[in-house]
Amino acid sequence: MASSGPTKKDFADLINQMMGQNVVNSQLLDQVLKEAKKGYHQQGLEGFFEYIRNLTNIPLSNTELKQLMDIVIGAGTPDQALNHLVNQKWISKDKAETIERKIGSQGKR
């Protein structure tokens, strides 16, 4: 059966490109997903958010993380998600353009 989207390796490669160094691989992503699921199953969405907050050190409340998640999920496409994030002042236009370039270069491999 053919994959309908990017693989974990593709996602890891994109993260590494954006960071400018190798910070993640598909095995680490597997571990992150496993721990995120564990947090969710033990404490619901709050457990998931707590795990993400501890992992990333971002100073966002559960409400803010939920808003961010809703924006990204509800957008439909990566381009629309980036536009919403810029419009809501979550990220700068320059950062969105950088991400778009990185996503575009991943699709051309």
Q: Which domain holds residue 87?
A: 61-109
Say what the pLDDT of residue 105 is: 60
Whether the pLDDT of residue 3 is over 70: the answer is no
Same domain membership, residue 41 and residue 29: yes
Say what the pLDDT of residue 35 is: 92
How wide is the angle at C-alpha 96 spanned by C-alphas 101 and 53, nearest 5°?
115
Average pLDDT over residues 38-54: 92
Same domain membership, residue 50 and residue 16: yes
Structural domains counted in the chain: 2
C-alpha–C-alpha distance, residues 83 and 103, integer Å: 14
Say what the pLDDT of residue 43 is: 94
Same domain membership, residue 69 and residue 102: yes
Cα–Cα distances in angstroms (integers) from residue 42 to residues 36, 37, 95, in the given order: 10, 8, 34
What is the number of other CB atoms lying within 10 angstroms of the CB of residue 87?
A: 11
Same domain membership, residue 55 and residue 16: yes
User: Cβ distance 71 to 85 under 8 Å?
Assistant: yes
Whether the pLDDT of residue 14 is over 80: the answer is no
Residue where a domain stops, chosen among 59, 78, 101: 59
Average pLDDT over residues 27-47: 92
| pTM (whole model) above 0.75 | no
State pLDDT tens for residues 71-97: 888 887 778 888 888 888 888 888 888
